[in-house]
């Protein structure tokens, strides 16, 4: 494409993956890490997560407000680092997960975000229907509260039997869930991650076409999920080019083609398209970020007009 990708997408990055120390919300270098993204005009959006220290959170909020970036809030670490499950079949446990997600909405608002993203809890075949009903309850409560703040709720689609083993889940099941929520709440959408697509044994075209009416946000990244015996197997979001990885420049190009064909190139109201990439072991975060930029730049250059 000769036109800039920035005409059609707000290019973002998941800060707490690029800088894994941010994941637990306790990193003293939080502001410095976020600043490395904020000063880089390649990025139009930044995805942040919880910041437990109120002074650090206030400083981050001021910096983000000055950045002129779209602020997105990922509440996934609030669940993944604590073991809380928004579809737990025990009501008291479900309520604990709901409470932290309600708190996430408030924190997101204080940081300038217009919504939050989260993920479903575990897929258990024997209790799947009960868990589905519990997730409906949690999500409806989140959407209802977010509506009072003119904010949105997004559910990220994960794998169901490899790493996160999340209830949502394969694309057809995610579409069913999204339709159930959208029948009551227009402020709900799905976050589709390229790195999770092969983990659900699907391809980009099938996933995007199946979920098309409900998609509000995209991630792109890599995964190692073909061979359990190789290094890095699971949902680790390794750099592009990682040995045994499922996604690289070709797959990003194919994904962009599908997004174009399905009408997601929207100049008037661009979707967020974020890198979700993570250093492996001793790899350097800033090099991994540069790697991702090169891949997207090349894929965009190869995309047909």
Tell me the per-residue pLDDT of 1-47, one tens digit each, with 9 for 90 and over: 899 999 999 999 999 999 999 999 999 999 999 999 999 999 999 99
Mean pLDDT of 91-120: 98
pLDDT at position 124 is 85
CB contact at 8 A, 248 and 194? no
| Residue closest to 156 by CA, chosen among 190, 125, 107, 180 | 190
Model pLDDT for residues 264-279, shown as the tens digit of each residue: 999 999 999 999 999 9
Whether the Cβ atoms of residue 20 and residue 281 lie closer than 8 Å to each other: no
292 pLDDT higher than 90: yes
Q: Are 237 and 277 in contact (CB under 8 A)?
A: yes
Dihedral angle of Cα 215, 221, 226, 232, to the nearest 10 degrees? -130
Tell the residue number behind the tokens 């994960």, with chain if given.
158
* Banded model confidence at residue 125, pLDDT cuts 50, 70, 90: confident
Kindly indicate the confidence band of residue 219, based on its pLDDT and cuts at 50, 70 and 90.
very high
Mean pLDDT across the stretch 249-260? 98
What is the 3-class SS of 212-268, one letter each residue? HHHEEEEEECCCECCCCCCCCCECCCCCCCCCCCCCCHHHHHHHHHHHHHCCCCCCC
Cβ 47 vs Cβ 13: under 8 Å: yes
So what's the pLDDT on residue 18? 98
For residue 9, what are the β-bridge partners? 271
**Residue in 71, 69, 70, 101 with CA at minimum distance from that of residue 85:** 101
The residues with which 193 forms a beta bridge, in sequence order, are: 219
Distance of CA 44 to the CA centre of its chain: 16
């Amino acid at each position: 494409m000769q036109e800039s990708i920035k005409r059609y997408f707000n290019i973002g990055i998941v800060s707490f993956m690029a800088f894994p120390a941010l994941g637990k919300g306790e990193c003293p270098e939080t502001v410095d890490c976020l600043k490395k993204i904020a000063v880089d005009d390649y990025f139009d959006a930044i995805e942040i997560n919880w910041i437990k220290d109120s002074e650090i959170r206030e400083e981050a909020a001021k910096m983000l407000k000055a950045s002129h970036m779209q602020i997105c809030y990922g509440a996934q670490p609030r669940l993944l680092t604590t073991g809380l499950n928004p579809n737990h079949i025990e009501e008291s446990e479900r309520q604990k997960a709901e409470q932290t997600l309600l708190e996430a909405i408030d924190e997101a608002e204080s940081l300038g975000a217009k919504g939050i993203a989260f993920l479903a809890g575990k897929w258990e075949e024997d209790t799947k229907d009960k868990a589905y009903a519990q997730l409906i309850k949690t999500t409806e409560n989140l959407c209802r509260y977010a509506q009072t703040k003119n904010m949105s709720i997004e559910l990220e689609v994960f794998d169901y039997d490899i790493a996160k083993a999340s209830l949502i889940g394969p694309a057809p099941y995610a579409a069913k869930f999204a339709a159930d929520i959208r029948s009551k709440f227009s402020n709900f959408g799905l976050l589709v991650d390229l790195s999770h697509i092969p983990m659900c044994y699907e391809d980009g075209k099938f996933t995007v076409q199946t979920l098309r009416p409900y998609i509000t946000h995209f991630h792109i990244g890599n995964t190692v999920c073909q061979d359990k015996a190789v290094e890095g197997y699971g949902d680790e979001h390794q750099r592009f080019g990682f040995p045994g990885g499922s996604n690289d420049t070709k797959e990003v190009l194919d994904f962009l083609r599908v997004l174009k064909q399905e009408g997601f190139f929207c100049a008037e109201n661009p979707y967020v398209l974020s890198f979700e990439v993570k250093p492996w072991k001793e790899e350097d975060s800033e090099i991994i970020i540069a790697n991702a930029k090169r891949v997207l730049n090349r894929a965009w250059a190869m995309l047909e007009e």
